[in-house]
A and B are shown apart, each in its own frame.
Chain A
């Protein structure tokens, strides 16, 4: 069903992945700034925890990026085969998240986590076959 050229196809898939990575990194960064939700819930209740989350501009920006990713996936699926678009964007997102978490969130992405990311990304591609 692919109706676009190779370059356009990969630009669309990358757009889905990049916006998904932005969404994941922004929401993870927001949750890190907000702090342990279990502690906030114990102190202020569920409404207090929900208020802390939805009043974070970084979280809201992350949700916007997730929405962009969702709609760009919908558009991509209308012109690129689902058997390519879904696993390719998921695998790129997985690997990209590891790089972005290392550089933006300063997470300790050690050898164990890289191996895990590689296994899961390969597994996602195989699941779609």
Chain B
């Protein structure tokens, strides 16, 4: 049987991609406002924890971990990881259009390769079906 995902589960994968990419970008934006943290100025980390961008980034990364674990509970790791790699593409696009960073031709090529890789895996089955163990087969007849 081919395991395909329901629209709700595709939304969970979309949440994984968006939360990690937007979360990382918000953390980067917040830490740029706070300034460089060195071993001699670790107190700056406490100031960073009061920055709204850093707080928002941490909340989004908690949401990322929750949705990532949810996805792993009904899909293979080798299905979830390439799917979520699309987050790298979102980070690059956010860097260009929000942070106004320059995207080199190499990066555009990298983005294209990741999109192709995600396309390959997204069309396949999401979960490996293992044959039931003998003990489980016995239970079915009880």
Contact = CB atoms under 8 A, between A and B. Distances in A.
Contacts of B92: 127
B24 to A, nearest CB: 12
Contacts of B107: 126-127, 129
Top 4 closest pairs, chain A to chain B, by CB:
A126-B110, A119-B117, A123-B113, A123-B114
Contact of B113 (A32, A108, A120): A120
Contacts of A34: 73
B69 A120 contact: no
B68 to A, nearest CB: 8
Interface of B: 69-70, 72-74, 76-82, 85, 88, 92, 104, 106-107, 109-114, 116-118, 120-121, 123-125, 128, 130
Nearest to B85: A120
A116 B121 contact: yes
Contact of A97 (B81, B104, B118, B125): B81
Given A106-B130, A120-B118, A25 B77 contact: yes
Given A112-B120, A116-B120, A127 B73 contact: no
Interface in A16-34: 24-25, 27-28, 31-32, 34
30 contacts: A24-B81, A27-B69, A37-B73, A53-B69, A94-B81, A94-B82, A97-B77, A97-B78, A102-B78, A107-B77, A108-B128, A113-B82, A113-B120, A113-B121, A115-B120, A116-B121, A117-B78, A119-B113, A120-B81, A120-B85, A120-B113, A122-B110, A123-B88, A123-B112, A125-B110, A126-B109, A126-B110, A127-B110, A128-B110, A129-B110
Given A123-B88, A127-B107, A107 B114 contact: no
A31 B130 CA distance: 16
Interface size class, chain A: 35 or more
Contacts of A37: 69-70, 73-74
**Chain B, interface SS category:** helix
B124 A129 contact: no
A101 to B, nearest CB: 5
Nearest to B74: A36
Nearest to A52: B73
A50 to B, nearest CB: 9
A110 B107 CA distance: 28
Contacts of B76: 28, 101, 105, 107-108
